[in-house]
Amino acid sequence: MDHTQNIGLQWLLITTLALLFKPAPIMLLMYDLCFLMTQVEATKVPAIIVFGDSTVDAGNNNHVQTLARSNFAPYGRDFEGGKPTGRFSNGRLATDFFSEALGIKAFIPAYLDPAYGIEDFATGVTFASAGTGYDNLTSQITNVIPLWKQIEYFKDYKAKLSAYLGKTKAEETIQQALFVTSLGTNDFVVDYYLFPSRPSQFTIEEMGGCREDLNNLARDFGGKVSGVVSKLSKELTGTKMVFLNLLDKPLHIIRNPHLYGLATSTIRIASDQEAIAHIVGRLENVGRGCCGSGTFEIAFACHEPDPFTCTNASAYAFWDSVHPTELMVRLGQDIFVGSRGFLESSPSRWAMTDHAVKHLGRKSV
């Protein structure tokens, strides 16, 4: 299978985050939605609050009766301590790197993880659940946490934060926090195209057949959401909302790995003295995942022992058959966060520019 034809079409709201390439056995371009909101006058980002699916789930599904888990080897083998955390990665997620880039902390903990408490969540927390989507039916299929429940957890979190920091400080933290939402792929892949009732409900005349039709559907949907986000950003005073199409750059990485995996095994991305990223690694394989055969393994299908699992995940773009390696996530994060300025807009797209980290927590332009 040519994974460059099945890369996840990721739509993100500001930055980064789920730079998630999704080589799946379904021949269509998938997408995630990632929304990030920040108060315009914020002087420092005190916390990152995350909602979503496996792209940003740090282990909440470990505490849910579901098969959509990754709290076992070889997942997490390159994470601190070499142990699985429930992240669908060999290491950290994009949200972890983004938190670190903003000077908050090295990783964002899962809200349901009993190893952490409100003192940890005060500066960042994820309510995300692998396998979920915007449609409630999507989460029911794999028995994971629906988006509405994640929001209920957020309400509970706010009450705990108020008790921990005091009402005034807690309100300031929430007002100045970055809110990230990364999900959407599962609605199309797990729900919409597997359940005929869904298309009829949404009056789509034709489903399936040609891959390009599905690709166009994903693009059209993203375009419509982008318009809504732009409208809301203007209406919600004090809040900056951005809808970012990250398809072009991931496709470029996948199709031109030689441009990112240099003979010196060092990739340098960025721009000036305050935003230089060095990545040690070499992208030698972009056609399959590191785990097992790399063509279908995900969750419990990606397990140890498996003699076919690669020994060096940094040589691969994908960790399992769906999720990128830590190197690939970091590479994408550095490309979008480590370039010049905050944001620049054009009629067709939003793009990250240099000094993003410098400006993100300060003032919108």
Residue of 173, 133, 161, 164 lying closest to 149 (CA atoms): 133
Contact present, 267 and 256 (Cβ < 8 Å): no
Share of the chain above pLDDT 70, in %: 59
Residues 229-253: tens digit of each pLDDT: 888 878 877 777 766 555 455 556 6
Residues 310-330: tens digit of each pLDDT: 999 988 888 988 888 998 888
| Burial of residue 338, with CB atoms counted within 10 A of its CB: 0-12 exposed, 13-18 middle, 19 or more buried | buried
Question: What is the rounded distance in angstroms from the CA atom of residue 23 to the CA atom of residue 3?
Answer: 5
pLDDT at residue 280 in the model: 35
Range with the lowest mean pLDDT among 8-12, 87-91, 105-109, 332-336? 8-12
Contact present, 327 and 314 (Cβ < 8 Å): yes
Which residues on adjacent β-strands are paired with residue 289? 318
Average pLDDT over residues 150-161: 98
Contact present, 43 and 174 (Cβ < 8 Å): no
Q: Mind telling me the catalytic residues?
A: 54, 320, 323
Cβ atoms within 10 Å, residue 255: 12
Given a cut of 60, is residue 108 above it in pLDDT? yes
Given a cut of 70, is residue 125 above it in pLDDT? yes
Q: How far is CA 190 from the centre of its chain?
A: 18
* Domain 3-360 is found in CATH 3.40.50: yes
pLDDT at residue 49 in the model: 94
Share of the chain above pLDDT 90, in %: 34
